[in-house]
Amino acid sequence: MRKSIIIPAVLFTAAGIASPLLMGLVAENQFTTQLEQMSAEQTAGKASISDVQFNRGYAQSEASFVMTIEDPSTDLPAVSILIESDLQHAPISISEFGLSALEINSQDRFSLIQGPEDFIAFINDNMQGYFLTGYSRANVLGNFDSVLSSPALDFSSEAGDFNILMDSMVINTSGKLDGSVTDFDVKLPSTTIKGTEFSVNVASVTAIGDRYTDTSGVELGKTLMEVAQVSVVSAMGGAEIKNITLSAVSDLVGDKIDTNVHYNVESIVAPLPVSSASYHVDFNGLSVASAQLVQDLQKHLNEMEANPESADQFFNQLISATLQPGLQINQELKANAFGGDWVADLDVEYTGIEGVELAAMKDPKVAVQGIAATLVITADNAALLRTPLAPMLDGLLQQGFITLDNTNLTTAAYLNAGKLTINEVEMPVDSIIDAILLKLAQSQQEEVAVN
């Protein structure tokens, strides 16, 4: 009986001693795998990872790497960020997330080690050397949570003629370490910049969203960003913009990708004719193959630099994958300006042309036959009379380009099967295309002559 008790006790004790080491191996493997994935993603871009270090201990480890962002095609200096983490990988631990089991906890620091010298000095002097600090956790299943924040900033120039007051920004992220799923929540309460002749205030900036990688490898998800208020005061006057919103949703519908983006400005108080505005665009029916090509565009561009002959092949492949019947771009612009409402609604769909290869679409006169489009513009008549276009209204009305209905002026244009009508008046499409091509050719010749 005694022996049967001692043996499990010894095994349990041995497992308890070994588990921090095993968790350390898990932590190192997760760290290495994540960096390999990041390196693969950045190979086609302008970023690179170097100076990777992982010093594994019994229950604590240290990890760090440097990410360098550099674009040789510009004059901007290279920027290098040092990311450091102090890891704890005991089987049972207590962290900012509370009591946990079989989790790897870390304290994280981001510092700028290469870049504009004045900016580095500013961070070192006013942010204790770190522009982001925080903590994170990961479990053996590959899930993670991270909380990062920037230090609150209260900077004044020596002369006292310039001041920056910025609350701490908090960034919450969670998801999968392999990058297949990421959720984020960013909050910046307020920022104020003051000079001797101006002041700028940005109040309550938030951004939330999620991103996931579909089985096809295409990134999808949604994002919502809101800015409660932006106000500017200067010697020329003041301006105030309230409730700025940006939302974007990208999802897979059948075997096509639909993307919807919406911008909205609820109120503009400024010496401008516009008092509110919104813009909405739907990009629907994009093939997965096209999205994959666009997602790897930088990689293909790098290959083209080494083999210029591959450029035509790639772009023909991209056009063929993109121009599929059913591809739609629908846009709507609304504004309140000059004291009235304005609306422009444009819907465009690629319908294709039966029996015509995509190579033939290089001729605009042929390509236009595969496009169906509708454009409707409505404007308040009284508001339009307050604009520089007012002297032209009578002539446009007589020519039929606009119609007057009660208090609104409207233009409706339709393009279908190569035929264009504006307010039911047919227009010569071929002549319009020839005029546009001629104008483009003249512009190119003028540019060549100047250079």
Judged against a pLDDT cut of 50, whether residue 12 lies above it is answered with: no
CA distance 226 to 141: 33
Judged against a pLDDT cut of 50, whether residue 2 lies above it is answered with: no
CA distance 148 to 130: 11
Comparing CA positions, the residue from 150, 213, 148, 152 lying closest to residue 185 is 148
Q: What is the mean pLDDT of the chain?
A: 82
Give the tens place of pLDDT for each residue, 230-244.
999 987 788 899 999
Which residues share a beta bridge with 329?
283, 348
Judged against a pLDDT cut of 50, whether residue 435 lies above it is answered with: yes
Q: What is the pLDDT of residue 210?
A: 93
Least reliable range by pLDDT among 44-48, 218-222, 383-387, 403-407: 44-48
Task: Judge contact between 112 and 87, C-beta under 8 A.
Answer: no
CA distance 343 to 277: 10
Q: Which residue has the higher pLDDT, 18 or 107?
A: 107
Q: Cα–Cα distances in Å, from 259 out to 284, 327, 330, 350, 410?
A: 6, 11, 11, 16, 29
Judged against a pLDDT cut of 80, whether residue 255 lies above it is answered with: yes
Residue 304 binned pLDDT confidence (cut-offs 50, 70, 90) = low
If one counts every other C-beta atom within 10 angstroms of the C-beta of residue 111, the result is 19
Cα 170 → chain centroid: 19
Q: What is the pLDDT of residue 357?
A: 64
Comparing CA positions, the residue from 216, 196, 132 lying closest to residue 170 is 132
The token pair that represents 19 in the structure block: 């588990």
> What 8-state DSSP symbol labels residue 140?
T
Residue 16 binned pLDDT confidence (cut-offs 50, 70, 90) = very low
CA distance 157 to 159: 5
Judged against a pLDDT cut of 80, whether residue 298 lies above it is answered with: no
Comparing CA positions, the residue from 21, 25, 30 lying closest to residue 144 is 30
Cα 23 → chain centroid: 36
Helix axes 297-306, 288-295, angle to 10 degrees: 60
Q: What is the pLDDT of residue 167?
A: 92
Judged against a pLDDT cut of 80, whether residue 303 lies above it is answered with: no
Cα 20 → chain centroid: 40
Judged against a pLDDT cut of 90, whether residue 79 lies above it is answered with: no
Q: What is the pLDDT of residue 17?
A: 43
Least reliable range by pLDDT among 1-5, 216-220, 238-242, 439-443: 1-5
Residue 15 binned pLDDT confidence (cut-offs 50, 70, 90) = very low
If one counts every other C-beta atom within 10 angstroms of the C-beta of residue 212, the result is 15
Maximum CA extent, the chain: 108
> What 8-state DSSP symbol labels residue 370?
G
pTM: 0.80
The HSE-up count of residue 30 (CA atoms within 13 Å, CB side) is 27
CA distance 79 to 288: 34
Query: Backbone phi, then psi, for 382, in 5-degree steps?
Result: -65, -40
Residue 23 binned pLDDT confidence (cut-offs 50, 70, 90) = low
Helices in 43-131 by DSSP H: which ranges?
117-126
Least reliable range by pLDDT among 77-81, 169-173, 188-192, 440-444: 440-444
The HSE-up count of residue 12 (CA atoms within 13 Å, CB side) is 6
Give the tens place of pLDDT for each residue, 328-367.
999 999 999 998 999 999 999 988 877 666 555 667 777 7
Domain boundary assignment for the chain: 17-151
Q: Cα–Cα distances in Å, from 345 out to 160, 281, 337, 349, 426?
A: 50, 10, 17, 14, 20
> What 8-state DSSP symbol labels residue 96?
T
Give the tens place of pLDDT for each residue, 145-192.
899 999 998 888 888 888 999 999 999 999 888 888 899 999 998 999
Where are the extended beta strands (E) located within 237-291? 237-253, 256-269, 274-287
Question: Over pLDDT 70: what percentage of the chain?
Answer: 86
Give the tens place of pLDDT for each residue, 313-330.
777 777 888 888 889 999
Q: What is the pLDDT of residue 14?
A: 44
Q: What is the pLDDT of residue 223?
A: 94
